[in-house]
Structure 1
Amino acid sequence: MFTKRKSGVLLHPTSLPSPYGIGDLGDNAFLFVDQLKKGGQSLWQILPLCPIGYGNSPYQSISAFAGNILLISPDELVKAGLLTEEDLAPVPDFGGPDTDYDAVKAYKLPLLRKAYQNFQNDPEESTLADFEAFCQKNQYWLEDYALFLALKAYFTARRNQGKEAEEFRLFQQETVDFLTAEEQTAYFESAAWCTWPKAIRRHNAQTVKKWTRLLAARIREEEFYQYLFSAQWQAVKEYANENDIQIIGDAPIFVAYDSADVWANQKLFQLDSKGFPTVVSGVPPDYFCVEGQLWGNPLYDWKAHKKTDYQWWTDRIRKSLEDVDILRIDHFRAFESYWEVAFGAPNAIQGVWKKGPGMDFFRTLEKELGKLPLIAEDLGIITDEVRALRKEAGFPGMRVLQFAFGNDRNNAYLPHSCDFNSIMYTGTHDNNTSRGWYAEATEEEKDHYRRYLNVDGSNVAWDLIRLAFASPAVFAIVPLQDVLNLDGNSRMNTPGIAGGNWGFRFDWSQWDEGFTQGLYYLATLFGRCAGI
Structure 2
Amino acid sequence: MDLKRSSGILLHITSLPSAFGIGDVGSAAYEFVDFLAASGHHYWQLLPLNPTDEAYSHSPYSSFSAFAGNPLLISPELLEKDGYVDLEDFPKPKNISEEKVHFSAVQEYKEELFSAAYKSFKKKKSNTNFKAFCKEHASWLDNFSLYKALRKKYKSEAWFSWPTEFRDRKKTALKKVRKELAEDIEKEQFIQFLFFSQWKSLMDYAHKKKVKLFGDIPFYVNHDSADCWANAEYFKLDEKKMPTHVSGVPPDYFSETGQLWGTPVYNWKEMEANDFDWWVKRIHQNLLLFDLVRLDHFRAFAAYWEVPAGEKTAINGKWVKSPGNKFFILLKREYPKMPLIAEDLGSLDKPVYKLLEKFRFPGMKVLHFAFGEDRRDNPYLPFNHEANSVVYSGTHDNNTSVGWFKKASRIEKKHLKDYTAQRVTVKNVHKVLHRMALASVAKLAIVPLQDLIGLGEEGIMNTPGTTKNNWSWRAKPGQIPTEQIPELKELNEVYGRLPESTSKDT
Give the shorter-chain TM-score range: over 0.9
Q: Deviations over 1:486-524 (max 9, x none)?
A: 001111100000121000110232234443233212211
Contact map agreement 2:397 2:462 (CA 8 A) in 1:
yes
Once the two structures are superposed, the pairs formed by residues 264-413 of structure 1 within 5 Å of their partners are 264-286=230-252, 289-409=255-375, 410-413=377-380
Query: Partners of 1:474 and 1:453 in 2: how far apart?
Result: 21
Native 8 Å contact 1:44 1:247 kept in 2? yes
Query: Percent of aligned pairs with the same residue?
Result: 46
For the Cα contact (< 8 Å) 2:250–2:257, is it kept in 1?
yes
1:419 Cα deviation after fit: 0.7
Alpha carbons 1:21, 1:94 under 8 Å: kept: yes
Corresponding residue number in structure 1 for 2:384: 417
Gaps of 5+ in 1: 157-189
Within 2, Cα distance between the matches of 1:341 and 1:25? 39
Distance in structure 2 (CA, Å) of the matches to 1:93 and 1:276? 38
- Tell me how far apart the structure 2 counterparts of residues 440 and 406 of structure 1 sit (CA, whole Å): 13
Distance 1:95 1:243, change over 3 A: closer
Partner of 2:193: 227
Distance 1:286 1:38, change over 3 A: farther
The more displaced of 400-409 and 62-71 is 400-409
Mapped partners of 1:290, 1:446: distance in 2: 27
Q: Say which SS state the counterpart of residue 255 (structure 1) adopts.
A: coil
Shift of 1:288: 5.5
| Structure 1 match to 2:461 | 492
Question: How far apart, in 2, do the equivalents of 1:284 and 1:519 lie?
Answer: 41
The alignment status of 1:72 with 2:74, answered yes or no, reads: yes
Deviation at 1:58, TM superposition (A): 0.8
Partner Cα distance (1:18, 1:482) in 2: 21
SS in structure 1 at match of 2:124: coil
Match of residue 166 from structure 1: none
Q: 2:407 aligns with which of 429, 437, 440?
A: 440
Q: Is the 8 A contact 1:423 1:474 kept in 2?
A: yes
**Where does residue 182 of structure 1 map in the other structure?**
none
Q: Provide the rounded CA distance (Å) in 1 between the counterparts of 2:457 and 2:88.
A: 39
Pick one of 498, 515, 518 that aligns with 2:487.
Answer: 518
1:291–1:445: structure 2 CA closer, same or farther, 3 Å change rule?
A: farther
Paired residues, number? 496
Q: Is the 8 A contact 2:49 2:60 kept in 1?
A: yes
- Residue 483 of structure 2 is aligned to residue 481 of structure 1: no
Structure 1 range deviating more: 298-307 or 287-296: 287-296
**1:76 is matched by which residue type in structure 2?**
L
Q: Which amino acid aligns with 2:279?
A: W
Counterpart residue type for residue 124 of structure 2: P
TM-score (norm 2): 0.96
Paired residues of 2:98 and 2:477 also in contact (CA < 8 A): no
After the TM superposition, list the runs of 4 or more consecutive aligned residues in structure 1 that deviate by more than 6 angstroms. none
CA displacement, residues 330-356 of structure 1 (integer Å, 9 cap, x when unaligned): 011000011111212222233211111
* Bigger shift: residues 426-435 or 89-98: 89-98
Aligned to 1:197: 163
Instruction: Give me the whole-angstrom Cα distance separating, in 2, the residues matched to 1:412 and 1:397.
Output: 11
CA deviations 1:426-476 (Å, max 9, x no partner) are 111111111111111111111111211222222111111110110010100
Quick check: 2:21–2:98 contact (8 Å CA) kept in 1?
no
Paired position in structure 1 for 2:141: 142
Corresponding residue to 2:173 among 207, 214, 231 = 207
**After superposition, what is the alpha-carbon deviation per residue over 1:397-422, rounded to whole angstroms, capped at 9, x for unaligned?**
11111111111112001111111111
TM-score normalised by structure 1 residue count: 0.91
Whether 2:474 is the aligned partner of 1:505: answer yes
Helix, strand or coil for the counterpart of 1:257? coil
Question: What is the aligned partner in structure 2 of residue 177 from structure 1?
Answer: none
2:413 is equivalent to residue 472 of structure 1: no
1:107 corresponds to which residue?
109
Give the AA of the match of 1:274: K
The answer to whether structure 1 residue 242 and structure 2 residue 208 are counterparts is: yes
Deviation at 1:96, TM superposition (A): 5.4
Sort the Cα spacing of 1:335 and 1:439 in 2 relative to 1 into closer, same or farther, 3 A: same
1:479 is displaced (CA, Å) by: 0.7
Q: 1:455 to 1:345 in 2, by over 3 A?
A: farther
Q: What residue is the counterpart of 1:94 in the other structure?
A: 96
Residue 478 of structure 2 aligns to a residue in which SS?
helix
Change (3 A) 1:288 1:113: farther
Pair 30,487 (structure 1): closer, same or farther in 2 beyond 3 Å: same
| 1:124, distance to aligned residue in structure 2 (A) | 5.2
**Which digits, 9 at most, give the CA deviation of each residue in 1:250-283, with x for residues without a partner?**
0011101100000000000001111111111111
* Structure 2 gap ranges (5+): 502-506
Alignment counterpart, residue 83 of structure 2, candidates 81, 84, 98 = 81
SS at match of 2:28: helix
How far apart in 1 are the matches of 2:95 and 2:486? Answer: 34
1:4 equivalent in structure 2: 4
Kindly provide the amino acid, as one letter, of the partner of residue 113 in structure 2. Answer: L
- 1:111-151: per-residue Cα shift (whole Å, max 9, x none)? 1111111111x2152xx111110000000000000000000
TM-aligned CA deviation for residue 366 of structure 1: 1.7
Which segment is superposed worse, 343-352 or 490-499?
343-352
